[in-house]
Structure 1
Amino acid sequence: MNAGAILEAAGLTKEFGGFVAVNNVNLTVERGSVHALIGPNGAGKTTLFNLLTKFLQPTRGAIRYQGRDITR
């Protein structure tokens, strides 16, 4: 884990049936930083946000908040 990271995603993947909506996302958000998630319609932005906020559970991967695993 990155010592300055408040939120980390490692290998985050979400599949719906045979459709892969988010594939192997790695993300580190450090305290005090600002990030933007951009892309075309259907790119998986909302699905990634829903994974990070625990509205959805990932098919694979891990989410850590302040160093604590919150994946499941």
Structure 2
Amino acid sequence: MIQVSELDKRFGAIHAVAGVSFRAADGEITGLLGPNGAGKTTTLR
């Protein structure tokens, strides 16, 4: 299982990810969707 609660990430003055929360249980297929620059890769790092 992966659980994220209220994740925030800043690069200087840029707030790249703000308050992201999600849970993915074992055996589930989960997608993280959004436009370019939305913070998907940053969230998973």
Calculate the TM-score normalised by the size of structure 2. Answer: 0.91
The one-letter code sitting in structure 2 at the alignment partner of 1:43 is: A
Aligned length: 45
Q: CA deviation at 1:49?
A: 1.2
Q: CA deviation at 1:31?
A: 1.1
Q: What RMSD over aligned residues (CA atoms) do the two structures have, in Å?
A: 0.7
Map of 1:27 onto structure 2: 22
Q: CA deviation at 1:38?
A: 1.1
Map of 2:31 onto structure 1: 36
Calculate the TM-score normalised by the size of structure 1. Answer: 0.60
Q: Identity rate of aligned residues, in percent? A: 40
Runs of 4+ in 1 over 6 A off after TM superposition: none
The one-letter code sitting in structure 1 at the alignment partner of 2:11 is: F
In 1, Cα distance between equivalents of 2:26 and 2:2:
8
Unaligned runs of 5+ in 1: 1-5, 51-72
